[in-house]
């Protein structure tokens, strides 16, 4: 790209060395007093080792991410197949007792209704938790559909009107990038629901040529940012600190803008 008349790029050269090399190069024009280009200063830097380290890091992140998601899937399945089934059976039996015993005392009937209500609420919460652990929609329909699903749930269940906007041409993302963005969005929306006291939220996903950008914004109460992003954990913002760490692991960046009374904006950029 051109920056103040200087050209900067990086590329792989398969003919260099035994296995090829990655080079980062810059070119800056040399001009005479009349402004004409009479030459150039060029620099070449071998970044093969750095690229290999990045590739190794991405490989290990893929392994860790897969292990985490497999475990989430296993727990979600067990919650659904075992615990949820037991709760459903309890609810059915309570319903059967109430239906088959018409002469129950008012006190006992009220107690049964209370137990039934709590069991039903527990089942709904359990199903929601199992779904949050590993929503099938991310596997079946991809990131955009998963973001729209979360926005719909936040609007319907908690009254926080949430909109999703997609910029650029939607396309498939590497699994580790897609899962990272999904998990960060999930964490951010959970924070909005629990802490922000917001009435509206916005999710923007931009597909660029070499990067994807996810922006999550709310109109809530905001908070005072610590000095530097490194202070998030010490300030008790462990969820945000976790987002930052996961983003950095795949070579991305995370920015947080927040101010008391003015909402919060989280911007994540990741290479693709």
Q: Cβ(216)–Cβ(189) under 8 Å?
A: yes
Per-residue pLDDT of the chain (272 residues; tens, 9 = 90+): 344 567 788 888 998 888 899 999 888 888 888 888 888 888 889 999 888 887 787 777 778 777 877 887 888 888 888 888 899 999 999 888 888 877 778 888 888 889 999 999 999 888 878 877 777 788 788 899 999 999 999 999 999 999 999 999 888 888 888 888 998 999 899 999 998 999 999 999 999 988 999 999 999 999 887 665 555 555 566 677 777 777 887 788 999 899 888 999 999 999 88
Contacts of 12 (CB under 8 A, 6+ apart): 20, 21, 22
CA distance linking residue 67 with residue 64, whole number of Å: 5
Task: Dig out the tokens for 136 from the structure.
Answer: 């099938």
Backbone angles phi, psi at 270, to 5 degrees: -135, 140
pLDDT of 237 reads: 62
Q: Cβ(266)–Cβ(189) under 8 Å?
A: no
Q: Cβ(151)–Cβ(186) under 8 Å?
A: no
Q: Cβ(258)–Cβ(264) under 8 Å?
A: yes
3-state secondary structure labels for all residues of the chain: CEECCEEEEEEEECCCCCCCEEEEEEEEEEECCCCCEEEEEEEEEECHHHHHHHHHHHHHHHHHHHHHHHHHHHHHHHHHHHHHHHHHHHHHHHHHHHHHCCCCCHHHHHHHHHHHHHHHHHHHHHHHHHHHHCCHHHHHCCHHHHHHHHHHHHHHHHCCEEEEEEECCCCCCCHHHHHHHHHHHHHHHHHHHHHHCCCEEEEEEEECCCEEEEEEEECCCCCCCCCCHHHCCCCCCHHHHHHHHHHHHCCCEEEEEECCCCCEEEEEEEEC
Contacts of 93 (CB under 8 A, 6+ apart): none
Q: Cβ(138)–Cβ(179) under 8 Å?
A: yes
Chain position carrying tokens 């001009």: 31
Among 173, 165, 135, 175, smallest CA distance to 153 is for 135
Task: Dig out the tokens for 4 from the structure.
Answer: 């103040």
């Amino acid at each position: 790209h051109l920056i103040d008349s200087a050209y900067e790029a990086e590329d792989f050269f398969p003919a260099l060395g035994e296995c090829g090399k990655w080079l980062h190069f810059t070119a800056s024009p040399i001009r005479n007093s009349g402004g004409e280009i009479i030459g150039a200063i060029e620099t070449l830097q071998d970044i093969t080792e750095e690229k290999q380290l990045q590739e190794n890091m991405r490989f290990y992140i893929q392994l860790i991410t897969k292990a985490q998601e497999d475990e989430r899937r296993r727990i979600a399945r067990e919650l659904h197949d075992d615990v949820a089934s037991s709760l459903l059976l309890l609810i059915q039996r309570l319903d059967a007792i109430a239906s088959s015993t018409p002469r129950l005392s008012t006190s006992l009937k009220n107690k049964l209704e209370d137990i039934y209500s709590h069991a039903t609420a527990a089942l709904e919460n359990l199903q929601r938790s199992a779904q949050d652990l590993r929503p099938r929609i991310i596997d079946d329909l991809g990131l955009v559909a998963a973001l729209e699903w979360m926005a719909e749930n936040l609007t319907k269940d908690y009254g926080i009107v949430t909109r999703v906007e997609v910029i650029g041409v939607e396309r498939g993302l590497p699994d580790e990038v897609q899962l990272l963005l999904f998990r960060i969005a999930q964490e951010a929306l959970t924070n909005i629901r629990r802490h922000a006291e917001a009435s509206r939220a916005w999710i923007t996903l931009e597909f660029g040529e070499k990067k994807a950008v996810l922006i999550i914004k709310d109109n809530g109460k905001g908070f005072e940012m610590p000095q530097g992003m490194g202070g998030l954990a010490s300030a008790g913002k462990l969820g945000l600190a976790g987002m930052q760490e996961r983003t950095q692991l795949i070579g991305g960046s995370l920015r947080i803008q927040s101010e008391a009374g003015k909402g919060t904006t989280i911007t994540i950029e990741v290479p693709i």
